[in-house]
Amino acid sequence: MRKVLKESEHLLRLVAVFAVGLVLFLVIRQAIVPKGFGEFGHYRGPALDDIAARPISFAGHATCEACHDDQAKTKAAGKHAGLSCETCHGPAAAHTEDPTEHAVMKPDPKVLCVRCHEADPARPKSFPQVVSKDHAGDTSCIECHKPHSPLP
Ligand code: HEC
Ligand code: HEC
Ligand code: HEC
Ligand code: HEC
């Protein structure tokens, strides 16, 4: 009998290790899996409330156009008509609520224009693109192109 016990000791130790592992797993899982997980399969229902509670950062171009009539008109008549203000100026909801307190980024043309227009074989051929070094050298793009209506 003693011999059997002695021989099964390593098995018992193994079972103990697994048991401790299982308990640890359940405790950690309880702590890190967020509330509501599993309610709708893998979708976490309360995620909707979390997302809805986030502050709004984009105002949408219609809001900008209400105050910046000039830029809106210029843009609507030009080749950039399809671009939204905040595509270039960045999220500006705070600015729309208090324009003097929250300034809007004036994008740096050096960085901005080439992001969309630098020649790249991955872009469709029909999209206007330039090799900026050959096209402009060190001259800023907006010396020749107005950002809100890039072709006259
Ligand atoms: C409620 C009216 C109002 C709305 C809405 C508004 N703006 Fe303005 N915006 C202003 C005013 C007023 C100024 C001038 C603030 C100053 O000089 O302190 C200004 C300044 C700016 C400037 C900086 C101009 C400069 O010379 O530095 C930019 C860029 C700008 N707005 C972009 C936007 C964009 C993009 C939106 C939409 C997300 C927007 N604005 C929505 C009133 C508004
Ligand atoms: C293609 C990118 C682009 C889009 C789209 C765009 N802007 Fe601009 N905007 C610029 C750049 C670049 C400047 C800075 C020009 C400079 O430094 O002289 C600027 C400047 C401004 C200014 C400062 C005054 C001026 O006219 O220079 C205002 C105000 C402004 N934008 C508002 C708007 C509004 C409102 C919209 C949407 C109707 C809009 N922008 C859409 C790129 C853009
Ligand atoms: C978010 C992407 C984006 C940014 C940033 C942007 N553009 Fe554009 N641009 C466009 C799109 C889209 C068109 C319209 C293409 C079309 O009509 O097929 C366009 C059209 C143009 C055209 C007219 C080309 C033609 O032959 O019709 C010029 C010039 C131009 N952009 C210059 C600029 C300059 C200068 C800047 C920086 C101030 C700039 N763009 C920033 C997307 C962008
Ligand atoms: C010295 C003036 C000048 C500067 C600086 C300049 N451009 Fe141009 N760009 C032009 C002229 C002029 C045209 C029209 C050429 C034509 O119609 O064939 C043009 C055309 C374009 C076109 C249309 C190309 C096409 O195939 O339809 C794009 C896109 C463009 N420029 C982007 C830029 C960008 C981005 C910068 C800054 C890196 C820039 N430009 C700087 C003068 C300039």
pLDDT attached to residue 65: 96
Whether 83 and 59 have beta carbons less than 8 Å apart is answered as no
Residue nearest to atom 37 of ligand 1 (CA): 64
How many whole angstroms from 1 Cα to the centroid of ligand 2? Answer: 88
- How far is the CA of 94 from the CAs of 62, 99, 134, in angstroms? 15, 8, 39
- How far is the CA of 123 from the CAs of 50, 81, 88, 136, in angstroms? 37, 20, 19, 20
Residue 107: nearest ligand to its CA?
A: 2
Return d(Cα 102, Cα 85) in angstroms, integer: 16
pLDDT attached to residue 134: 96
Residues of the chain with pLDDT under 70: 1-5
pLDDT attached to residue 6: 75
Residue nearest to atom 1 of ligand 1 (CA): 96
How many whole angstroms from 123 Cα to the centroid of ligand 1? Answer: 32
pLDDT attached to residue 34: 87
pLDDT attached to residue 152: 72
Which residues, 6 or more positions from 119, have their beta carbon under 8 angstroms from its beta carbon? 129, 130, 131
pLDDT attached to residue 113: 97
Residue 96: nearest ligand to its CA?
A: 1
